[in-house]
Structure 1
Amino acid sequence: MSRQSTSFTKPNDEWLKSKVDNQEYSSKSELLNDLIRQARNQQIQIDYAKDKIEKAEKSGFTKDSKEQILAQSKSLLNE
């Protein structure tokens, strides 16, 4: 594991300390690694959503009714 030195603003440092003091985390390092892990997972979800939106936009528009679109979606789920 790599070791780094990081500076925090006073409010951020107090927040980190409170999480450790409340025993939610055993150390600031554990908390920071968890926050980074959460941010990475969130980015994966954002990238997935962006990809789906881009594909949808590129697929064009449809003249199908809402009912037809729903029926097509249901049939894809049942495959």
Structure 2
Amino acid sequence: MSQISRKMSISIPPELAEYVSQKVASGEYASDSEVFRDGLRMLRARDRAVEQWLLTDVAASFDDRKKNGTRGVSAEELLSRLDQRRKASTAG
């Protein structure tokens, strides 16, 4: 990564500006810029993780279903399964 910094001007809502200020005031970050840099690094890491998941798990599952001629579950079945899991997790 290049060591040259580029200045940018951004606008954010007041509640996010306050959050950034709190992060700096707590000593967790030395400046507003550090907060934004860290947030952007996390966003990039998340994007890479999602891309990797799509390329490996989702694509492999799609290819397997296509090759074997199987179909996934319907939206109704998926919602029913999720509802059953939710009820089971809150029942205990």
- Tell whether the structures are fold-level matches, with TM greater than 0.5: yes
Query: Is it true that 1:8 corresponds to 2:12 in the alignment?
Result: yes
Deviation at 1:38, TM superposition (A): 0.5
1:45 to 24, 44, 49: 49
Q: Which residue of 1 aligns with 2:83?
A: none
Deviation at 1:6, TM superposition (A): 1.1
Percent identity, aligned pairs only, is 21
- Structure 2 residue ranges without an equivalent (≥5): 69-92
* Runs of 4+ residues over 3 Å off in structure 1: none
2:21 to 17, 27, 34: 17
Alpha-carbon distance in 1 for matches of 2:45, 2:13: 25
Between 1 and 2, higher relative CO (CA 8 Å, sep ≥ 6) is seen in 1
One-letter code aligned to 2:52:
Y
1:58 to 63, 75, 83: 63
- Structure 1 residue ranges without an equivalent (≥5): 62-79
